[in-house]
Amino acid sequence: MNIILLGPPGAGKGTQAKRLVDERNMVQLSTGDMLRAARTSGTEMGKKVAEVMDRGDLVTDEIVIGLIREQLESGQSGGGYIFDGFPRTLAQADALAALMDELGQTLDAAIELQVNDEVLVERIVGRAREAAAAGEPVRADDNEESLKIRLMAYYKQTSPLIGYYYAKGDLKTVDGLASMDEVAASIARVLA
Ligand code: ADP
């Protein structure tokens, strides 16, 4: 099973992906994590990426598609891939379809975690507050200014993917406002 987790920032994609890794030996491909690793590399590309991410905008399709291609070509799929935070644009969705085709793999479902905007803002601002209180590093894009831009990027560039995967017959929607365990159970039903 190869799946996409779809939803706005703060919808819980990362949390659910980590559970699937632990429980089903799936492989999480998070472009956000890959980009956070790239930004600390000290390269010119890393610096550019850092600037764009901190602002809350999307980095170029070329960069993220390159990162995913690298992983898919070299990687082991284990119990299947979880695409987390990718694709985020229609161009990325088309590129992913082509890549999977090339590799003889299929995409089984795009799972939308449905939430509402107030909850997202609360979750993300809360995440930043908790990290700060615990003396942990706070993500540079977890502030209200960047959050607005991230939400706008989601609505303008990523939300059309819901229609895209619906039209392909791959869309499954789960209630992302439910408890973590309930969301995990809904995802398990999709995977069954
Ligand atoms: P969140 O889950 O909170 O939205 P992510 O960790 O997925 O955050 O992504 C953080 C940032 O990394 C995004 O705001 C964007 O700048 C960049 N990014 C991650 N994935 C992509 C992608 N597929 N395309 C373009 N930019 C991306």
Ligand 1 centroid from CA 12, angstroms: 13
Place of tokens 């995409």: 107
The three-point CA angle 18-5-107 to 5° equals 110
- Which member of 13, 19, 39, 172 is catalytic? 13
| Cα gap 171→161, rounded to integer Å | 9
Q: Name the DSSP letter for residue 110.
A: E
In order along its 192 residues, the chain shows pLDDT tens digits of 999 999 999 899 999 999 999 999 999 999 999 999 999 888 898 999 999 999 999 999 999 999 999 999 987 778 899 999 999 999 999 999 999 999 999 999 999 999 998 888 888 889 899 999 999 999 889 888 898 899 999 999 999 999 999 999 999 999 999 999 999 999 999 999
What are the pocket residues of ligand 1 if the criterion is a CB atom closer than 6 Å to any ligand atom? Answer: 9-10, 13-14, 31-32, 35, 52-53, 56-59, 64, 85-86, 88, 92, 141, 150
Q: Is the full-model pTM beyond 0.75? A: yes
By the 8 A CB rule, do 17 and 72 touch? no
